[in-house]
Amino acid sequence: MIVGAQWGDEGKGKIVDVLSESFSVVARYAGGHNAGHTVIINGKKFVLQLVPCGVLRQGCRSVIGNGVVLDPMAFLKEVAALRDAGLKVDGNLFVSNRAHVILPYHRMIELAAENAPGRVKIGTTSRGIGPAYEDKMGRRGLRVADLLDLQLLKKHIENAVREKNMIAHALFNSEPLDADKMYAEYAAAAEKIAPFVADTAVLLNQALAAGESILFEGAQGTMLDIDHGTYPFVTSSSATSGGAATGTGIAPNAIDSVIGLTKAYCTRVGEGPFPSEEKGDAGQQLRVRGNEFGAVTGRPRRTGWLDLPLLRYARMINGISWLVVTKLDVLDELAEIPVCVGLKIDGKPTGEIPAQASGFDKIECVYHKMPGWRASTQGATEFGQLPKAAQEYLAFVEKETGVRVGMVSTGPERDQIIFADEFAREMQTRSPGKV
Ligand code: IMP
């Protein structure tokens, strides 16, 4: 399975796309259309938000698991775009009947709350993700199976809209939403979604029982995880590897390999702690060279240096067995590359990652400056093609995290990739019936 080891945007789309060749099913287990997985195939760009990247591979089935929150309109829009691009979605794309549905009042409440005085502004993607998960955990959500049950849908929308309108008016003075209009739109969407709906836990477990292998496609990243990230500046789901079991219905002991993705540097979108952030010109250079603008919202990403203490934390939380380093080529022009190798609080070294956002304010990064290579790594396909300093950079990451680098991405296209031999072998000879 694949997880983001930073704050999301590590380039999971491309890596899932490359690896999906060796898997028969790709499954999403958390998040929603807040994710933006960009894949470039023969110069054509695909941005997938809800649909797993496996859909871009012939013969690969894609599953949106129960842990995902599904915006029906966003889903249908994406399906239409995929069909327009000539990709097959019918019969190979499945949506869990237990996934929760995002409705317009979720977005209304999120937008109002984000801008309300006295509230902590998270800098969300404004997709209604948080309020939809709130309703799920509050046991008042609407699941995909309920969306298809039109009587239940009508009743649910009438009651929920009445309640949400009152809350939004009282708290934020928001304009009310119209329940009848919403019902008509969502009943029409339900009809189009019905052919995709399945009990995906059964589907996935049957696939495993038949000896097929499944690739879990994590969304967001470790530091955005609701429990283990920089709370409250996180997303509302379990983005770490633990979320894959509950978010799909696959037992934890079926997971035998966790691949952690990290950029060769670091980025974050939205508010919240970012110890190795580089606010000066060098940060702007990373933003421009790395085209660090959100795939979903277009917002400029905050940029900074690789943070090894956070990577070690991500390894611990996820059980990362291989690292994949992306966007190495973005560092090509730098004369020297700072890497955060340790953290200090009040001037004293610490191995702890603070539980409070305020704790991060006191954190100081200890930097080690690595020599740059000032040569192009773009498109390299063998470790031996990399300049010596780039090889040493990767070796340093391996030594400091204790995890081997299995792949390095050296450009946006499918074939701009380096595979470590052992990793490639492991991917090709995967244990049947494992994730
Ligand atoms: P939400 O998921 O829209 O509630 O946003 C919560 C936080 O997670 C914000 O800081 C977002 O910028 C961030 N976020 C959500 N999804 C992604 C993603 O796919 N990549 C990077 N950041 C994300």
CA 113, CA 301: separation in Å to the nearest integer?
22
Which atom from ligand 1 is nearest to the alpha carbon of 35? 19
Q: Supply the residue whose CA is at minimum distance from atom 20 of ligand 1.
A: 8
- 316 lies in the same domain as 244: yes
Instruction: State the pLDDT at residue 289.
Output: 96
Total tally of structural domains belonging to the chain: 2
State the distance from the centre of ligand 1 to the C-alpha of 124, rounded, in angstroms: 6
User: Which CATH number fits the domain that encloses residue 108?
Assistant: 1.10.300.10
User: Is residue 433, in this structure, part of any structural domain at all?
Assistant: no
Same domain, 173 and 264: no
CA of 271 to the centre of ligand 1 (A): 10
**Residue of 9, 10, 34, 109 to mutate, ligand 1, most atoms within 8 A of C-beta:** 34
Verify that 203 and 308 share a domain, yes or no: yes
Q: Which residues line ligand 1 (CB under 6 A)?
A: 7-9, 34-36, 122-125, 127, 129-130, 219-220, 224, 233, 235-236, 269-270
434 inside domain: no
Asked whether residue 125 falls in the same domain as residue 179, the answer is yes
Q: Is residue 27 part of a domain?
A: yes
Enzyme catalytic residues: 9, 37
Give CA–CA dist 241/317, Å, rounded. 8
- The verdict on 257 and 178 lying in the same domain is no
Structural domain contains residue 7: yes
**pLDDT given at position 99:** 98
User: How many angstroms separate the alpha carbon of residue 250 from the centre of ligand 1?
Assistant: 25
Helix 129-137 / helix 104-114 crossing angle, nearest 10 deg: 110
Same domain, 140 and 153: yes
Domain finish residue from 145, 169, 196 = 196
- Please name the residue whose Cα sits nearest to atom 5 of ligand 1: 124
In this structure, how many other beta carbons lie within 10 angstroms of the beta carbon of residue 212? Answer: 17
Q: Are residues 267 and 286 in the same domain?
A: yes
Same domain, 41 and 123: no
Best residue among 106, 107, 124, 301 to mutate for probing ligand 1, ranked by most atoms within 8 Å of CB:
124
Indicate whether 64 belongs to any domain: yes
Q: Which of 196, 226, 258 is the last residue of a domain?
A: 196
Q: Cβ of 287: how many Cβ atoms within 10 Å? A: 18
d(CA 389, CA 401): 18
Tell me the β-bridge partners of 339.
368
Last residue of a domain, one of 133, 167, 196: 196
59 and 9, same structural domain? yes
276 C-alpha to center of ligand 1: Å?
A: 19
Same domain for 276 and 143, yes or no, is no
Query: Would you give per-residue pLDDT tens digits along the chain (435 residues)?
Result: 999 999 999 999 999 999 999 899 999 999 999 998 888 887 888 889 999 999 999 889 999 999 999 999 999 999 999 999 999 999 999 999 999 999 999 999 999 999 898 889 999 999 999 999 999 999 999 999 999 999 999 999 999 999 999 999 999 888 999 999 999 999 999 999 999 999 999 999 999 999 999 999 999 999 999 999 999 999 999 999 999 999 999 999 999 899 999 999 999 999 999 999 999 999 999 999 999 998 778 889 999 999 999 999 999 999 999 999 999 999 999 999 999 999 999 899 998 899 998 888 889 999 999 999 999 999 999 999 999 999 999 999 999 999 999 999 999 999 999 999 999 999 887 666 667
Q: What is the chain's alpha carbon radius of gyration, rounded to the nearest angstrom?
A: 22
**Domain membership of residue 124 as a residue range:** 100-196
Q: Are residues 212 and 278 in the same domain?
A: yes
How much is the pLDDT for 411?
93
Residues 6+ apart with CB under 8 A from 425: none
Structural domain includes residue 53: yes
Q: Can you give the CATH number for the domain in which 17 is found?
A: 3.90.170.10
Residue with the nearest Cα to atom 21 of ligand 1? 8
**Ligand 1 centre and the CA of 411: distance in Å?**
24
